[in-house]
Homo-oligomer: A and B are copies of this chain.
Amino acid sequence: MSGPAGTTPHASSRAAVLDVIRAAGTISRVGLVKATGFTGATISTVVRRLIDDGLVLETGRAESTGGKRRVLLQLNQSSRFAVGVHLDHAGLTYVLTNLGGSVVARMSRAGVGTDDPPVVVARIATEVDALIDGAGIDRSRILGLGFVTPGPLDQTGGMPLTPPAMRHWEHFPLDRELGAAVGLPVVLENDATAAALGEHWSGDIGGTATFAALYMGTGIGAGLMINGVTYRGAGGNAGEIGHICVDVEGPECWCGARGCTEQLAGPGAVVGAALADPELVRSAGLTSTGERPRRIADFAAITRAALRGDPRARTLLERSARYLAVAARTLANIMDLEQLVLTGPSLAIAGSIYLPVVQEELDRSFFSRATHSVPVRLSRSAATAPAIGAAALVLQSELVPLREGLRLPDNLGDAEPSGQPAVR
């Protein structure tokens, strides 16, 4: 058994104090003692170092409560930055955030298709340079780069199992190559987990909520937060609801199983069914061909057709939504969730069609519905949540303490190795 977090003033107490200041906005040293349980002497030492390092500022005094007026502390938001990169088959999304997690620059670029990993890594390095230069940020103040891909990731810094379109990425030493190319420490994470963290940092969800981010990009996954802390599971790949079985007699999936959610509900399934319907191809203006699948573009075209009243398009999307809703119910029953957020590029497009179907399923069939409901909402940043979460991962490595019993990236601190993902 390792000791309780933060009982001695190591780097993890520094991280804990930073996290409390971030969450509070402004707070006094006495407030920090109360919130963290550290002694006054520890808080005094930690805060002095944070101020010396330029991470925290003193900012006026609190109203008097009879005694001495207390100096307030706040994050020096622009003292440090992080880069977040989200690679999906459909495109690359970049964000640059400050220490508080606010986006100070963003850009989107076309997908990488079947390009070889080294080519993609070189391209990303160039685009990251453009992002940083465009924002006019001094490179020495950038803590690192969070890189987010479809899972699963393994402990060696690569992807041991990939969707067919990314098969050539298997076992590529992504973290090492990318780190060398951009000259920054790299944290890896899967898209859905990063999206959940992005939602958490966006502040739309209570700080200690137990919720899932149901993610749909090219694939389907879920990111899990338990009482405000990322849950990654034994191997770093929890939340793989794209590959849970919703139909034992369903079609075979690329993952080797049968009846997976992704196979039945994913954008690929919707577009595949639409392409088999010549009238819908025409009415929705679909452009995929055998050689050039344009899944997300065609998924968006089908959604637009549905929203303007095309019944064939609507039928396909609602069938997909019903499968996704069943998977959401399974997830809610296993995790006993407080809330569910729909996010990711495909739900940024079609979320308004999926939301009522998922909510209705949970209202009708969530097993513990007599105890509490599970409200579902659409993310306000569904398209960029994974990239924001990627940057937040880097900031967390400076900010968030190693909480006992849960695995967190804290390798910039003094914590023991704690599973995926690691800063390398």
Q: Which residues of A pack against B, CB within 8 Å?
A: 1-8, 16, 19-20, 23, 34-38, 151-152, 154-155, 160-161, 207-208, 210, 222, 224, 226-229, 231-241, 243-249, 255-258, 322-323, 326, 329-331, 333-338, 364-365, 367-372, 401, 403-407
Contacts and interface: CB of A to CB of B under 8 A. Distances in A.
Nearest to A42: B7
A334 B241 contact: yes
A246 B243 contact: no
B155 A371 contact: yes
Secondary structure call for the A interface: loop
B235 A336 contact: yes
Contact of A335 (B238, B255, B401): B238
A330 B367 contact: no
A38 B405 contact: no
| A245, A335, A364, A365, most chain B CB atoms within 10 A | A245
Given A210-B234, A246-B245, A336-B234, A226 B329 contact: no
B330 A232 contact: no
A207 B246 contact: no
A1 B37 CA distance: 10
Contact of A20 (B1, B38, B337): B1
A8 to B, nearest CB: 6
A37 to B, nearest CB: 3
Contacts of A154: 370-371
A209 to B, nearest CB: 8
A389 to B, nearest CB: 18
A335 B334 CA distance: 9
A257 B378 CA distance: 24
Nearest to A418: B227
| A23, A368, A403, most chain B CB atoms within 10 A | A368
A31 to B, nearest CB: 11
Contacts of A6: 4, 7
A220 to B, nearest CB: 12
A5 B247 CA distance: 43
Contacts of A233: 210, 335-337
Contacts of A20: 1
A405 B403 contact: yes
